[in-house]
Amino acid sequence: MYDVAKNLHEVLRNLPDGVKLVAISKFHPNEYLEAAYREGQRIFGESQVQELSGKVETLPKDIEWHFIGHLQTNKVKYIAPYISMIEAVDSLKLLKEINKQAAKYNRVINVLLELHIAKEETKYGFSPDACREFLENGEWRELKNVHISGLMMMASNVDDRSQIKQEMTLAANLFDELKAKYFANDPEFKERSWGMSHDYDIAVECRSTMVRVGTTIFGPRVY
């Protein structure tokens, strides 16, 4: 096993106060998560509903689980009872379904709106304009069992650090714009989730509040 404890502390040392670490544990077995948990890590991110459900059953109850993958509407019901944050909401349809399922458990589920800024075709998420339209449309205001806590994005998977920085800066600027226009009275609209193993240092420069780091802590994933 990777030296999870050592890697975890190294990442934590690189994060300024106020930047949270979501340890991305997808495709890693329970003992990896337990090793991080023993060091005090409490926020873990997973991208598959079935895998997450198995881990939730067996791992400590005070873990905060973030769902970071593309979530199909028909699977929301399985995670609604316990999920702390759904990071990658990219449609009104999905948001409505989260709201409906959260209501069944009398919960308010925190979500992030996923932005599509990267050049890659395959990534999900709202373009900046689609995100503006979504918020302007206002239907989200009726949904009392979801709370929009901020924005999430993945930068392009490239070596060009200036491109990554440009994309994250765009996301940070969009956050400011949307905050001023739609969330000025909501101090809990505050999260900027960007930065992964290869670019979380750039993300911190670009005002990330939440980095999602997997490989650097747990090693390569075995699919």
Ligand X SMILES: *Cc1c(COP(=O)(O)O)cnc(C)c1O
Quote the least distance from Cβ 56 to ligand X, whole Å. Answer: 18
Question: Using CB under 6 A, which of the segments 34-42, 53-61, 76-84, 208-216 binds ligand X?
Answer: 208-216
48 lies in the binding site for ligand X (CB under 6 A): no
Asked if residues 107 and 80 have their Cβ atoms less than 8 Å apart, the reply is yes
Residue carrying structure tokens 């890590």: 41
C-beta atoms surrounding 135 within 10 Å: 18
Selected from 23, 68, 89, 204, the binder of ligand X by CB under 6 A is 68
Question: Which of 143/153 has CB closer to ligand X?
Answer: 153
Residue of this chain nearest to ligand X (CB atom)? 214
Quote the least distance from Cβ 103 to ligand X, whole Å. Answer: 27
214 lies in the binding site for ligand X (CB under 6 A): yes
Selected from 12, 183, 197, 201, the binder of ligand X by CB under 6 A is 197
Selected from 39, 166, 196, 219, the binder of ligand X by CB under 6 A is 196
Question: Which of 150/214 has CB closer to ligand X?
Answer: 214
Selected from 4, 8, 19, 24, the binder of ligand X by CB under 6 A is 24
Question: Using CB under 6 A, which of the segments 48-56, 140-148, 168-176, 209-217 binds ligand X?
Answer: 209-217
Question: Which of 24/135 has CB closer to ligand X?
Answer: 24
DSSP string, the chain: ---HHHHHHHHHHTSPTT-EEEEE-TT--HHHHHHHHHTT--EEEE--HHHHHHHHHHS-TTPEEEE-S---GGGHHHHTTT-SEEEEE--HHHHHHHHHHHHHTT--EEEEEEE--SS-TT--SB-HHHHHHHHHH-GGGG-TTEEEEEEEE---S-S-HHHHHHHHHHHHHHHHHHHHHH-TT-TT--EEE---TTTHHHHHHTT-SEEEE-HHHH-S---
Question: Which of 90/97 has CB closer to ligand X?
Answer: 90
Question: Which of 169/197 has CB closer to ligand X?
Answer: 197
Q: Please classify residue 130 by burial: count the beta carbons closer than 10 Å to its beta carbon, then call 0-12 exposed, 13-18 middle and 19+ buried.
A: middle
Selected from 132, 183, 215, 219, the binder of ligand X by CB under 6 A is 215
Residues numbered 102-161 forming contacts with ligand X, rule: CB under 6 A = 154
Residues that bind ligand X (CB under 6 A): 24, 26, 47, 68-69, 154, 196-197, 212-215
